[in-house]
Amino acid sequence: MTAIWCFVLAVGFGALTIYSATPGQASTESLQVTASPKWYRAQVSSIQREFNPPLGLEMFVHPRCPCTRASLGELEKIMSRLDGELIAAVWMYHPQHEPASWAYTDLWRKAESLPGVSVLADRNGEYSKHRGATTSGHVVLFDHRGQPCFQGGITAARGHAGDNLGSGSVIAIVKERMQGSNMSDQLTKSSKKKWTLRTNVYGCPIQNSTEDRIHVQ
C-alpha cells in the first residue's frame, strides 16, 4: 500500500512539474515598431524631463489566473529597481458580457497597489489581441517611439517567483537604454548571452472557453 501511495505521489509531482515548466502559447506577433500607446504618451507628457523619457511596459493579464500572482510580484520588483526609469500599465482581460466586478479580483488590486503602474480594462481582450499577447503575464517593453525592446514572460515557470531571465533582461535593457546605449547591438555582440529580447510566458490563456472555471477571489 505504501509503495502504491508513493507511486501516486511521484506521478502527481511529476505532472505538476511538467505543467509548471510548460509555457503558454507563444506570441502571435514579432517585435515591430509601432506608435507608443496613448496611456504612455499621456503619462510621459506629465513628466518634467526633456531628455531620456522613461521606457514603457505593458503586461497583459487574465484576472483569474493564479499563475500571474508571481508575474505581478516580479513586476513589483522591477518597478522598485527602476524607480523613475519605467512606467507601466497592466491590461486586465474583461469579457464584454461580464460585469465590472468579474475582473476586479485580488490580481487587479495587487496591480493597483504597484507604484508607477496603471491598471486598465481590456474589453473582450481586443487590445491584447492587437499586441499579440495570448498568455496571462505577457510583457511588452518599449521606448518612447513605440520601438519594442523586449517581449515575453518575467517568471521562470508557472507561479514561480524569483530571479529569471525575463526580469533580468527588462532591468538590463532599461538601464542600458537610459544610459544611451543600444542594447540590441550589445546583445548581438555579447558572448555571454546573459540577456535576451524574448522569453517564454508561463500562465493561463488570456482568452479561454473555460475562463469561468479559473477562480481567484
Domains of the chain by range and CATH? 33-211 (3.40.30.10)
Place of cell 501516486: 8
Give pLDDT tens digits for 45-99. Answer: 877 666 678 999 999 999 999 999 999 999 999 999 998 899 999 999 999 999 9
Cα separation, 36 vs 43, whole angstroms: 11
> For residue 129, how many other CB atoms are within 10 A of its CB?
16
Confidence band, pLDDT 50/70/90 cuts, at residue 194: low
Place of cell 497597489: 113
Within 8 A by CB and 6+ apart from 206, the residues are 60, 61, 62, 93, 125, 128, 133, 134, 135, 136, 138
Task: Tell me if 128 sits within 8 A of 48, measured CB to CB.
Answer: no
What's the confidence (pLDDT) of residue 156?
94
Helix runs in the chain, H state only:
2-20, 38-45, 68-81, 106-112, 126-130, 165-178, 183-189
What's the confidence (pLDDT) of residue 133?
95
CA nearest neighbour of 150 among 134, 118, 172, 128:
172
Cα separation, 176 vs 171, whole angstroms: 9
Give pLDDT tens digits for 119-174. Answer: 999 999 999 999 999 999 999 999 999 999 999 999 998 678 889 999 999 999 99
Q: Who has greater pLDDT, 146 or 11?
A: 146
